[in-house]
Chains A and B, each alone.
Chain A
Amino acid sequence: NAGVTQTPKFQVLKTGQSMTLQCAQDMNHNSMYWYRQDPGMGLRLIYYSASEGTTDKGEVPNGYNVSRLNKREFSLRLESAAPSQTSVYFCASRIGLTEAFFGQGTRLTVV
C-alpha cells in the first residue's frame, strides 16, 4: 500500500518553463488536494478536488492549473513558472471528513 505518491521529488525550472506535478493515491479516497509550503506560512491550499470530476480553487490558485484525471490521480500544472513559485508542493487525499494523507512532497526551484 503506497498511499500518496508524488513525482518528481525534486525539480529545477527556468523562468517561463512549464511542468506538471503528478500525484496518485491508492486508498480509494474521493478528495484530493494540492498545497504549497513556504517558510513561516504553513500550508496554503492551491486547488482541491472534492470528488472525481470536480475541481475548485483554494487560497493561492494563480499561476496553476489542475486536472483530476480519474479517482486516483490529481495533477498540478505550472504553465509558465515564476521564481515566486519556488516552494515545496504537497499532494494529499482524504475520504469524507477524516484525516488527510500526504505525499512526501516535491521541492521545486524556479531560477
Chain B
Amino acid sequence: AQSVTQLGSHVSVSEGALVLLRCNYSSSVPPYLFWYVQYPNQGLQLLLKYTTGATLVKGINGFEAEFKKSETSFHLTKPSAHMSDAAEYFCAGGGDKAAGNKLTFGGGTRVLVKP
C-alpha cells in the first residue's frame, strides 16, 4: 500500500527566504506525486505534479519539486517566500491502478511567512 509522509506539520519562514517542504513516499509501483495548496476556508488547488519524465517539476506561484527515486522523496521548494505563500500544503501520491486509483495524502504542512 502506498503511503505519504510530510516532515514537519508547521514551518515558519521569513519573507524572501527559501521555502522547503519535505515529502517522502512509499510505494510498490512507480508513484504519481502531487503537491496541493489550501488557503483558509478553501478547497485544494494543484501546485504541481510528477507523473513520468523530467524529475524536476515546475508549478504555479514559483514552486518546484524534485522527484528522487533513490531517496523516495518529492520535496517542494520556492527560492523566495512571499506573504501570499502562507497556507497549508499537502503532498499526495497515487499511481496504482490495482489499488483503484486511490490518492493518499500526507498530514499537511502549514507555512507561516514572517515579514
Contact = CB atoms under 8 A, between A and B. Distances in A.
Contact count band on A: 20 to 34
A35 to B, nearest CB: 7
B65 to A, nearest CB: 13
Contacts of A102: 36, 43-45
A41 interface: yes
Nearest to A4: B43
A33 interface: yes
A42 B106 contact: yes
A35 B43 CA distance: 12
Interface stretch (A65-73, A76-84, A90-98): A90-98
A35 B104 CA distance: 10
A111 B6 CA distance: 32
Most chain A CB within a 10 A radius of its CB, from B97, B101, B107, B108? B101
Given A41-B107, A97-B95, A90 B44 contact: yes
B51 A97 contact: yes
B67 interface: no
A44 to B, nearest CB: 8
Interface of A: 31, 33, 35, 40-45, 48, 50, 54, 56, 58, 90, 92, 94, 96-105
14 contacts: A35-B105, A42-B90, A42-B106, A42-B107, A42-B108, A43-B108, A45-B103, A90-B44, A96-B101, A97-B97, A97-B101, A102-B43, A104-B42, A105-B42
